[in-house]
Chains A and B, each alone.
Chain A
C-alpha cells in the first residue's frame, strides 16, 4: 500500500479519537520535555560551576608532595622521608622556573587565636607574599606581609574578615596584637570579604609568613606549593619546567605531583558532564513510561477496533497492511508527542532564562535530536507488539466481534 494512503489511514483514526490520542501523547511529551529540561539543567549547572572555577584563574598550578601513581603501587613506606617539599624547593622555583609569575609554599593548621580574653579556633595559613596574586584574592584594609617580613621571620598577620570580627568585634584590628598559640603577631591587614569558593574561605583564616607558620605549627615541610604560570597558553611547558627543577633537587626522583587548574577544571567538567548524563538517563525512564502508555492504549485500541480490523481484512487488507497501519499510528503519536515535547521544553527553558538570567539554562542543541529520536524509537518499539496483535486477529472472529 502506498505510504501516503497508509499515512492517511493512520491520521484518520488518530483524529477520530482526539482525546485518546492526546492523552497518549502526553506521556511522551512529558518524557521528551523531561529529557531536554534535565539536560538543560545539568548543562546550566555545569556552565555556572565552570565559570566560577575559571574566575580563580586557569593558570594556577598545584604541587603536592608524593607521587600519586607511585603511592598507589608501592604504598607509603618507601622514600617517605624524601617525599617532602621545603622552602628551598620554593626558593629554587623562584630562581630557576622563569615561566612562573608567582610561587609560594603553603602550610595549613588549626590554631587558637587569642585577643585579650577572646579565644577563637581558626585556620592558620602560612605562605609568602605572592599568595594573593596566585589566587586572585583581594585585601580589604592595611597591607599584606612582604617578602622581607617572611625572610626576617617577622611576627605579622593578615586576618580574614570573619576572624577579624570575631576577635576584635567592631574595633579596628590594624596594628593590634593577636596571640597565635603562644606567639604574638601584629595585625597588618584584613582580607576583603569574599564568601566561599569550593570549600576554601578566605574569611575565616589567618595568613602569616611561611617561616612563622612552620614554627608555630611545628612542621619541617610544606603542605604544598602553589604557583601561577605567566601565561595561560603554555601551562604544559611550565609544568615541565617545574618538574625539571624539582626533580634535580630531589636527587632525580619525581616524588611530587604537579596538577594544573586546567586539568582540575577538566576533571570537574567531566564529573559534571556525567551528572548531566545521569539526569538525562533518569528522564529517559519517563520516556519509557510514556512508551508503555502508548503500548497500553494501542492494545486497548486494537481490541476496541477489532471489528474495523475484520472489515479491512474482509475487503482485502493483508496482515502486514493492518500491522503497518497500527505501527504507523504509534509512530505518529510518538513523533507528534516528541515535537510538542521539544517545543514546550524549549519555551520553558527560554522562560527560565528570562526569569533567572544568571542561570544560563539553555537546552543544549545536541540534546534535542537524541531526545526526539528516542521518542520515535520508544513509540515504534512499543507499537510493534499491539500492531502484531492486530494483524493476527482472525477475520471471521473480528467480523462477529460486537
Chain B
C-alpha cells in the first residue's frame, strides 16, 4: 500500500469572477521512504498540493488516501489528529512561536497529542523534544528563543518540531528559501540524513539543483502534473 495516493484530485479557487484551477485532476502515488521533490513556477499548484497533502485543505473533488485512509471524508477534529500524528511541516519562514523557547516550540505538537494519546505524560514530552533537538544538532540551544537563533538554527528547530511526533510524512515548503546558500545546503544535508533514516520526504522548491538531490521529482505546470522523473537512488 502506498503512503500517499491521489486520485483525480481537483482544487479550484474563485478569485472574484475568475476561477483558478490550482490542481487539475492530479493522480499520483508516493511510497513510504521516498524522497520526492516538487518543482514548478509559482502558481503551478505545488503549494496547493502541499496543503492538500498536509490536510490543511480539502480538495473539491477526487480522493486522497493517506496510509489507506480516505482523508477527504474526515471532519476537522479527525483531520487535526491525523495531522498531529502523521505529518510534519517545515515552512519557508520557519513559523516558530516567537515568545517560546526552542524546546517549547518543539514540544508543541506533543502537547496537542495529549487529547488522543492515553500514555501521554509531561515527562515524555520533554524527553522527546530534547531528543528531537539532538537529532537536528541543536541540543545546546534548547532554551533560546527564535530571535536569539540564526536562520539555519531556526529552521533546524522547525525541523525538530516536524520530527518530534515521528510522522509518516515530512512536508517541506521551500525550506531553504530564507537561508543563505551555505546554510541551505546544510539543511538539505540534514534532509538527506533524515531520508536515510527512513523518513518519507516531500520537498517543494524553486531550485532545480535542490530538487535534483531527491530521487524523484514531480514537475507541476498550471495545476497539472507535467512530469515525474525518477533518478537512481543517491
Q: Which residues of A pack against B, CB within 8 Å?
A: 1-2, 4-5, 9, 12-13, 16, 307-308, 310-321, 395-396, 399
Contact = CB atoms under 8 A, between A and B. Distances in A.
Given A314-B56, A314-B83, A321 B95 contact: no
Interface string B94-117: 011101100010001101111100
B199 to A, nearest CB: 17
B10 interface: no
9 contacts: A1-B112, A2-B114, A12-B100, A307-B95, A315-B83, A319-B80, A321-B115, A396-B51, A396-B57
A110 B222 CA distance: 105
B99 A315 contact: no
B99 A313 contact: no
Interface of B: 51, 54, 56-57, 76-77, 80-81, 83-85, 89, 91, 95-97, 99-100, 104, 108-109, 111-115, 120, 122, 161, 165
Contact of B77 (A1, A5, A314, A318): A318
B129 to A, nearest CB: 12
Which 9 pairs show the lowest CB-CB distances between chains A and B? Answer: A316-B84, A16-B99, A315-B109, A316-B112, A318-B80, A317-B112, A396-B56, A311-B95, A318-B77
B112 A312 contact: yes
Residue of B77, B89, B96, B112 contacting most chain A CB atoms (<10 Å):
B112
A314 B89 contact: yes
Contacts of A317: 80, 84, 112
B97 A311 contact: yes
A316 B108 CA distance: 9
A6 to B, nearest CB: 9
Nearest to A315: B109
A388 B72 CA distance: 25
A344 to B, nearest CB: 29
Nearest to A397: B56
B76 A5 contact: no
Contacts of A321: 112, 115
Contacts of B54: 314
B56 A5 contact: no
A302 B109 CA distance: 21
Tell me if A's interface is mostly helix, strand, loop or mixed.
helix
B97 A1 contact: no
Given A1-B115, A321-B115, A316 B83 contact: yes
A315 B84 contact: yes
Interface of B, helix, strand, loop or mixed by DSSP: helix
A321 B122 CA distance: 17
With a 10 A CB-CB cut-off, give which of B56, B77, B165 has the most chain A CB atoms: B56
A212 to B, nearest CB: 90
Contact of A316 (B57, B99, B104, B113): B113
B161 to A, nearest CB: 7
B56 A315 contact: no
B204 to A, nearest CB: 14
Contacts of A4: 122
Contact of A315 (B51, B112, B120): B112
A319 B112 contact: no
A314 B95 CA distance: 10
A321 B113 CA distance: 11
A201 B113 CA distance: 79
A152 B77 CA distance: 100
Contacts of A396: 51, 56-57
User: Which of B84, B89, B104, B111 counts the most chain A CB atoms within 10 A?
Assistant: B111
A395 to B, nearest CB: 5
B123 to A, nearest CB: 13
A368 B82 CA distance: 47
The winner among A4, A315, A317 for most chain B CB atoms within 10 A is A315
Given A2-B114, A12-B99, A396-B57, A316 B91 contact: no
Given A12-B99, A16-B99, A315 B108 contact: yes
Given A311-B97, A399-B91, A316 B114 contact: no
A229 B100 CA distance: 76
Given A317-B84, A318-B76, 17 more contacts: A5-B122, A12-B99, A12-B100, A16-B99, A310-B95, A312-B108, A314-B56, A315-B83, A315-B109, A316-B80, A316-B85, A318-B77, A318-B112, A318-B115, A321-B112, A321-B115, A395-B56
B172 to A, nearest CB: 13
A307 B98 CA distance: 11
Contacts of B95: 307, 310-311, 314, 399
A12 B111 CA distance: 14
B84 to A, nearest CB: 2
A189 B54 CA distance: 102
Q: Give the most central of B104, B114, B120: most A CB within 10 Å.
A: B114
A312 B104 CA distance: 12
Contacts of B96: 311
A340 to B, nearest CB: 23
Contacts of B51: 396
Contacts of A318: 76-77, 80-81, 112, 115
Contacts of A395: 56
Contacts of B83: 314-316
Given A2-B114, A396-B51, A396-B56, A316 B81 contact: yes
